Amino acid sequence: MLASNDPISGASSLTAYNANKAPSEIRVVDLELKNLGEGVDKIEVKKMSGARHVISVALDEDNMKGICRGTGRIQIRLNQNENLDDIQLNFTSKGVMVNEHSGDPRKKPNMTGGGPK
């Protein structure tokens, strides 16, 4: 018997580790960012969000100068105990405008691709 098992009940400390979370507890949000500074990079945006799990960051950059144009998107996975309002508050406290991204219903993903990767 493992040291992490309870000899009386037979419960294992690994049950919480192996437990699958319900899909309702996990939420992926896609946020549009505006009013970012010129010198902002992807790492700074991740830090600004204060989120535990950032899936991706995409910034619109000027191809000639290589600097941020001031807009971008961020995808974040929120667990049950995390709140979207807290993430939005983190951005607005830094002067960044945040809107939840909504896909165009007229766009046909099978024709144009699934979106940013």
Question: Does a structural domain hold residue 112?
Answer: no
> Where in the sequence is the domain holding 67, given as residue range(s)?
22-102
For residue 95 the two structure tokens come to 């002067």
Give the model confidence (pLDDT) of 68-89 as tens digits.
889 999 999 988 888 899 999 9
Give the model confidence (pLDDT) of 22-72 as tens digits.
666 778 899 999 999 888 899 999 999 988 899 999 999 888 888 888 999
Supply the pLDDT for residue 1.
43
Q: Which residues contact 2 (CB under 8 A, 6 or more apart)?
A: 12
- The residue with greater pLDDT, 103 or 54, is 54
For residue 91 the two structure tokens come to 């951005």
Query: Is pLDDT above 70 for 18?
Result: no
Supply the pLDDT for residue 110.
64
Question: Does a structural domain hold residue 1?
Answer: no
Which CATH number is 86's domain given?
3.30.70.330
Question: Does a structural domain hold residue 108?
Answer: no
- The number of distinct structural domains making up the chain is 1
